[in-house]
A = this chain, B = another copy of it.
């Protein structure tokens, strides 16, 4: 199992959610963050002064997903969140060692990190 972390524009969040839904990924956890990329924010010129607005609101979406479907999730997000302008965001994939569903108290990941099999057994 892996964890996909995507940082996207707030106004693109609905589109991303829909894109994931369409491909059958309903599970997700989201929260609001502030961030900036390599351009180090936006510059506003103002009567000679320049002010740099460096941390802009973004939404962070986390999706835990089986290894073999990571590519689909990344693609869905990438397409839906794209505008082509600076600030579109990033997607990162992290390894997950174990996963549990609290309601059923079962372990739910079939594999360990990196798709290479791993310490976890199939829970359900």
Which residues of the partner chain B approach A87 to less than 8 Å between Cβ atoms?
103
Which residues of the partner chain B approach A88 to less than 8 Å between Cβ atoms?
101-103
| CB-CB under 8 A for A82 and B102, given A21-B40, A27-B37, A29-B58 | yes
Secondary structure of the A contact surface, majority rule: mixed
Which residues of the partner chain B approach A40 to less than 8 Å between Cβ atoms?
21, 26
Structural contact, A38 and B64, CB atoms closer than 8 A: no
Q: Which of A76-97 contact B (CB under 8 A)?
A: 77-78, 81-97
A8 interface residue, CB < 8 Å from B? yes
Structural contact, B119 and A114, CB atoms closer than 8 A: yes
Residues of A within 8 A of B (CB): 1-3, 6-8, 17, 21, 26-41, 54-55, 58, 60, 64, 70, 74, 77-78, 81-103, 105, 108, 112-115, 118-119
